[in-house]
């Protein structure tokens, strides 16, 4: 376990739930972060809201529903790959490992990794990292299910939490970054983020990276335009969240969800489109925002990769590719990366 209490006193409050489960919450005020960032991003010529703000309680619940949708092949496919490699993954491990997970969400896929680790070690230290409070519930479930698990959760954004990860140096670690969450970063930022992960790792540490692959546009667009409209609700919930937390006056009925594949950029682009000319007031900031009919708020990019691109990203950021797994249809890839000396 991390014994360093410097982090605790400086940036985090520590909550000890049981001797096997504690979590750290960032002292940063979420509401003022949303206020500061949304004020900036919604007053740009091209308005946007950062996708990390999707994940309040309602957003995290809606994302779990998205994962179960028939159109959302990503979760199902990555789960199947993880299931198929449970016996093979330990061949790449040298001794005992702690498991770190970036954007752990419901920790459903985590169970496959715990199964793989449990086959070669008795005790497992698990460090889930997520911006959402969902971490408390998902970690409680894991704690109750696995007697051999010691959980230290970090409820924070990826970047500051990486500082935390640096302190895990008493044993080797495998860092899982699943769900194609790297795809939410623009290409340059994705490289920077991979380099930041690299800096937190030591010899024999591993990174398990799950990435969505380019495929037929129809399949891609259906995944983000499901027939039940759950993705639309997920997207529109951003405005409800801003209404709630910043006392804003978004009329949700006057916006609509839009998701399309941009082939040139190889990314799904998700927007909220204003159906009419309108003005919205944000009480907490005292700002009013004007929207023209059909004006867009960009809410998420989700980049889709091909295998050579993944190899190139790994190469550029100082990793060696240990193994790449894909499903039969080549819809999703799981790359196991180790450190290359730079
Ligand atoms: C696309 S979901 C993936 C969840 C899970 N890993 C999976 O594969 O199903 C992204 C997760 O990362 C978290 N997340 C998103 N942006 C984040 C950020 N900037 N910092 C920390 N966590 C973030 C969300 O709360 C959510 O649980």
168 Rama class: left (phi>0) / alpha (psi -120 to 50) / beta: beta
Assigned token pair, 280: 């919205």
Question: From CA 253, how far away is CA 233, in angstroms rounded?
Answer: 11
Condensed to tens digits (0 to 9), the pLDDT of residues 48-68 reads 999 999 999 999 999 999 999
The answer to whether the CB of 166 is under 6 A from ligand 1 is no
Q: Quick one: which atom of ligand 1 is closest to the CA of 51?
A: 16
Question: From CA 296, how far away is CA 258, in angstroms rounded?
Answer: 9
pLDDT, position 8: 58
The answer to whether the CB of 76 is under 6 A from ligand 1 is no
**114 CB contacts (<8 Å, ≥6 apart)?**
99, 124, 126, 142, 146, 149
Q: Compare 115 and 10 and report the one with higher pLDDT.
A: 115
For ligand 1, atom 4, the nearest C-alpha belongs to 105
Domains and CATH numbers, the chain: 42-60+217-303 (no CATH), 78-213+305-339 (3.40.50.150)
Condensed to tens digits (0 to 9), the pLDDT of residues 41-52 reads 999 999 999 999
Distance 181 CA to ligand 1 centre (A): 7
| Block residue for tokens 């449990």 | 118
For ligand 1, atom 13, the nearest C-alpha belongs to 103
CA distances from 83 to 115, 238, 310, 317 (A): 9, 33, 22, 28
| Block residue for tokens 């990503």 | 74
Question: From CA 340, how far away is CA 38, in angstroms rounded?
Answer: 38
Q: Compare 342 and 16 and report the one with higher pLDDT.
A: 16
Torsions phi, psi for 199 (to 5 deg):
-65, -20
The answer to whether the CB of 131 is under 6 A from ligand 1 is yes
Distance 175 CA to ligand 1 centre (A): 14
The answer to whether the CB of 109 is under 6 A from ligand 1 is yes
99 Rama class: left (phi>0) / alpha (psi -120 to 50) / beta: beta
The answer to whether the CB of 153 is under 6 A from ligand 1 is no
The answer to whether the CB of 206 is under 6 A from ligand 1 is no
Query: Residue 342 — very low, low, confident or very high, per pLDDT cuts 50/70/90?
Result: low
The answer to whether the CB of 158 is under 6 A from ligand 1 is yes
Query: Residue 209 — very low, low, confident or very high, per pLDDT cuts 50/70/90?
Result: very high
Mutate to test the pocket of ligand 1, among 34, 80, 105, 159 (most ligand atoms within 8 A of CB): 105
- Burial of 227 per CB tally in 10 Å (0-12, 13-18, 19+): exposed
Average pLDDT for 207-235: 98
Mutate to test the pocket of ligand 1, among 129, 130, 178, 190 (most ligand atoms within 8 A of CB): 130
Assigned token pair, 21: 């489960």
């Amino acid at each position: 376990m991390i014994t360093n209490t410097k982090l605790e006193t400086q940036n985090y409050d520590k909550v000890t739930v049981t001797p096997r489960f504690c979590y750290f919450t960032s002292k940063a005020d979420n509401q003022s972060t949303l206020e500061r960032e949304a004020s900036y991003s919604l007053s740009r010529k091209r308005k946007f809201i950062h996708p990390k703000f999707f994940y309040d309680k309602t957003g995290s619940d809606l994302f779990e529903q998205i994962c179960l949708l028939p159109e959302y092949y990503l979760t199902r496919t990555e789960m199947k790959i993880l299931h198929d490699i449970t016996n093979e993954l330990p061949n790449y491990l040298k001794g005992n490992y702690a498991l770190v997970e970036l954007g752990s969400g419901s920790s459903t896929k985590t169970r496959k990794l715990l199964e793989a680790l449990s086959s070669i070690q008795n005790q497992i230290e698990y460090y889930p990292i997520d911006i959402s409070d969902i971490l408390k519930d998902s970690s409680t479930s894991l704690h109750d299910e696995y007697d051999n698990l010691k959980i230290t959760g970090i409820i924070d954004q990826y970047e500051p939490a990486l500082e935390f990860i640096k302190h895990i140096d008493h044993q080797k670690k495998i860092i899982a970054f699943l769900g194609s969450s790297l795809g939410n970063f623009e290409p340059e930022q994705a490289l920077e983020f991979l380099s930041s992960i690299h800096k937190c790792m030591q010899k024999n540490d591993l990174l398990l990276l799950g990435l969505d692959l380019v495929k037929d546009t129809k399949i891609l667009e259906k995944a983000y335009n499901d027939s039940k409209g759950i993705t639309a609700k997920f997207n529109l919930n951003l405005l409800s969240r801003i209404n709630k937390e910043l006392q804003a006056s978004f009329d949700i009925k006057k916006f609509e969800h839009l998701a399309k594949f941009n082939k040139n950029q190889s990314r799904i682009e998700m927007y909220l489109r204003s159906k009419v000319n309108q003005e919205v007031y944000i009480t907490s900031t005292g700002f009013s925002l004007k929207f023209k009919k059909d004006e867009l708020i960009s809410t998420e990019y989700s980049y889709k990769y091909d295998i050579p691109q993944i190899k190139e990203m790994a190469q550029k950021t100082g990793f060696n590719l240990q193994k790449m797994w894909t499903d039969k249809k080549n819809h999703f890839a799981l790359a196991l990366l180790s450190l290359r000396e730079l």
